Structure 1
Amino acid sequence: MNGRTQWILSALAVPVVLAAGYGLARAGEAPPQQAAAEVDVAEYPSMTALRKVEPQAGWELSWKITDSPLIVVAPHGGSIELRTSEIATAIADGRHTECHFKGRLPTGNYPRLHVTSTNWDVEECLILIRQRPHALSIHGTAKPGRIVYVGGRDTVKGAALTAALRAQGFQAEAAPDDIAGLSTANFVNKDADGAGVQLELTTDLRTALFPTASGPAGPDVPKFVAAVQSVYP
């Protein structure tokens, strides 16, 4: 048995115990584990697989629960898709339920910790999503410009968001096919109505809204948040 195989078997033996606390107005967070190993992996087929293998020193799962009918999810937060967590938290504003998966590796977060939305099976968040009529996911795209692409199966809310964002001076467009988020397997479309909204923000827009992870928000954040909150009061 080689060292690579031994590492995988060892990681699979590490228990990951997380429980969803629906109905409690509190934050939930997964327990710490051993430090992340320096190993390259292909994209995981599911978050369940990722959490069995990747030690939690390299990632963080958290959620905050309110009585709002909306849940805001940042599935690729932290250093996976930069500033998506900060944007999701600004939108939630302490009023809406939110759920985050954040990459915390020193480098290589996207290739190692990114799991596509159709395979993003974080049960703690899915429980909260299924119990609410509205779900909104915040993603990052490498496409050029300062644009927010609006997708997901909830075309009514999507159209309202597009109009509200444009009214605040943002360039908002219908998401192209490669990031449209229309699959019923996409976690955002598993809310109580079976149709959520997926926002894909370009890198330039995300870094304009939040120039740094820990510093002050950019001047356009209040307008962006006001536009979204006008659709989800």
Structure 2
Amino acid sequence: MFEQHPFQPVSMPLCLAVRHDRSTGASTGERIGIHPRMLTRMGAEPRQQARVSHGGTTALFTLIPDTDMEEVDTIRITESGCRRLGAAPGQTVILDFRCIDPAMTEKEAEIEGEFIERLEDDGRHHRLVVLAPHGGAIETRTDQQAEQVVASLGSHDSTLWACKGWGPIGHAYRAWHISSTDLSVHSFPLLRSLSARRFQWALSFHGYRGNDVLIGGLAPARLKSDLRNAIAKAVDGSGIRVRVADPGERYCGESASNLVNRLTADAAGGIQIEQSRPARMLHGRAIAAAVSEVYDSWIAADNRR
């Protein structure tokens, strides 16, 4: 199994080709097709993340084994993926398995336009893990909301895992966003340390282009209802609608492969909160405080059983 060393990233030059994908999913432009033999040669796992760089531009992608490929030293990316890199078919790109820099401080990462991983965990409890996989400037304020919830509940009952990315204005999302259904524990050492521990609940803060605050995941309906009511009260008078996602709706977070569900026992305790930009920027702290109160009451009720 591939183990990355922070000072010895595994990287390789490869030829870029375009693959045509009719899918319109958000993750389509975040995936690359790679020959299975190349994965084996580099000691990597399928669906692991890797950096791809070209001409000073870097973006994070998910590696998808492509059995239709003939050339081992070629990777295939959709046209939208090519635009993320500013690269054209036939050009050489660099594939690098160093997804994050564990030695870089948050301030350094912001200045350098980099991508980092953070964990606050006592290593023991199984209560609540709070996630912000798209923090920093990727989905602004979501990491601060996650940090606020964990600070409120304390380390005895809550764990924080976050990734934070920065870049030129408007480019952090393009460079570092990976859909939660694709995030691999093989690419994030701190996340991997949590992967064998199943939590009772998991909560993930997100931002999206919709107008509402959308509550999804595979957690019980009563928890979703409690969160909806608490958040609606927190944003009362703002005109922002708060609702529970319909089954099958985009951003409903109900896939068992979604990280927020994967980290819970029986994939049954995940809550995904999608928020419009006004909700995050103008009411982010109030939303996080409301969420904290709900989980505090659920933890207290569970302690009385």
The aligned counterpart of 1:112 is 175
Aligned to 1:87: 145
Structure 2 residue 62 is the aligned partner of structure 1 residue 45: yes
The separation in 2 between residues aligned to 1:88 and 1:37, in whole angstroms, is 35
Q: Which structure dedicates a bigger proportion of its chain to strand?
A: 2
One-letter identity of the residue aligned with 2:97: K
The 3-state SS of whatever aligns with 2:118 is strand
Match of 2:3 in 1: none
173, 187, 207: which is aligned to 2:281? 207
Kept in 1, the 8 Å contact 2:231–2:287? The answer is no
Q: Which has the larger radius of gyration?
A: 2
* Contact 2:146/2:288, CA 8 A, preserved across alignment: no
Deviation at 1:44, TM superposition (A): 1.2
Q: Unpaired segments of 5 or more residues in structure 1?
A: 1-7, 11-35, 211-216
Structure 2 equivalent of residue 194 of structure 1: 267
Shift of 1:175: 2.4
Instruction: Give the conservation status (yes or no) of the 8 Å contact 1:164–1:231.
Output: no
Count matched residues: 191
From 249, 254, 258, the equivalent of 1:182 is: 254
Taking a change above 3 Å as real, the CA distance of residues 221 and 186 of structure 1, as seen in their structure-2 partners, is closer
- Flag the 1:222–1:161 CA change in 2: closer, same or farther, 3 A: closer
Q: Which residue of 1 aligns with 2:243?
A: 173
Identity %: 27
| C-alpha displacement of 1:127 | 4.4
The structure 1 residue matched to 2:213, chosen from 148, 157, 163, is 148
Choose which of 131, 137, 161 in structure 1 pairs with 2:204. Answer: 137
In 1, are the aligned partners of 2:100 and 2:116 still within 8 Å (CA)?
Answer: no
Q: How does 1:152-163 map to 2 (within 5 A)?
A: 152-156=217-221, 157-163=223-229
Q: TM-score, normalised by structure 2?
A: 0.54
Whole-angstrom CA distance in 2 between matches of 1:125 and 1:51: 19
1:32 is matched with which residue?
A: none
For residues 166 and 265 of structure 2, the distance between their equivalents in structure 1, rounded to whole angstroms, comes to: 31
1:229/1:204 Cα in 2 relative to 1: closer, same or farther (>3 Å)? farther
Shift of 1:121: 1.4
- Give the whole-Å Cα distance in 1 for the aligned partners of 2:58 and 2:116: 19
1:128 aligns with 2:194: yes
In structure 1, how many angstroms separate the alpha carbons of the residues matched to 2:147 and 2:275?
A: 15
Q: Structure 1 residues 172, 232: closer, same or farther in 2, change over 3 A?
A: farther
Name the amino acid aligned to 1:64: E
Aligned CA RMSD, in angstroms, stands at 3.2
SS of alignment partner, residue 61 of structure 2 = coil
Offset at residue 105 of structure 1 (A): 2.5
Q: Is residue 9 of structure 1 aligned with residue 76 of structure 2?
A: no
Structure 2 vs 1, CA of residues 106 and 54 (structure 1 numbering), >3 Å: closer, same or farther?
farther
How far apart are residue 231 of structure 1 and its match? 4.0
Contact 2:117 2:164 in 1 (8 A): yes
